[in-house]
Structure 1
Amino acid sequence: MSEGEKPTPPADLEDDLSEALEALSKRDPETIDAVATYVSELAAWAESTSESKYPDGVPERATVSKTEIAGTTYRYYQWRDGDEIRSETVALD
């Protein structure tokens, strides 16, 4: 994309998503930024609640967050075990 050229949405989107993105492209920059923030948070939520396999010893009730450190992405699992808070960190491939 060259400077001043409108970005092209991914080609493999469903028609209703393409229409929504086209409508969004006509909004002011502040609205687009707010939607971008929401969509990023929505993606993080969807990934954290998706059907993912928990490591051995980590209960399915554990809270899962994802972070990137020095180019490596990690999943951080945290849960309560009685009076203690336990955690496990797993590097993603």
Structure 2
Amino acid sequence: MSYEPPTPPTNLPTEIVNTLNESNPEQLRGVATYAEALAEHKERKTRLKESADQEEVEERPDDLPDDVPSKATITVKEINDNRYYYWQWREGDKIRSAYKGPVKSSD
């Protein structure tokens, strides 16, 4: 083992390096354990999100346009006594819509 202190990763913020350099060995081992567990947690969360996104893509209705998310639902709007289908979904605080087509009398 070298007598020289280790070189921190270049992508680590200076304030974290300084805090670690001021920590005692027991605190550093705790940080190492926590950092490893946190990294595993975040990687798992990312894998689950990617898995959910994959399932979402597979469940897209055939007639859903590319610019409409799969979470969209169909709603009917009446304009001048005519009824139309619209895809509708939420983006943050806003409700978005995309035209689907007229409601046929048999629908």
* Higher-Rg member (1/2): 2
Higher helix proportion (structure 1 or 2): 2
Q: TM-score, normalised by structure 2?
A: 0.41
Structure with greater contact order relative to length (CA < 8 Å, sep ≥ 6): 1
TM-score by length of 1: 0.47
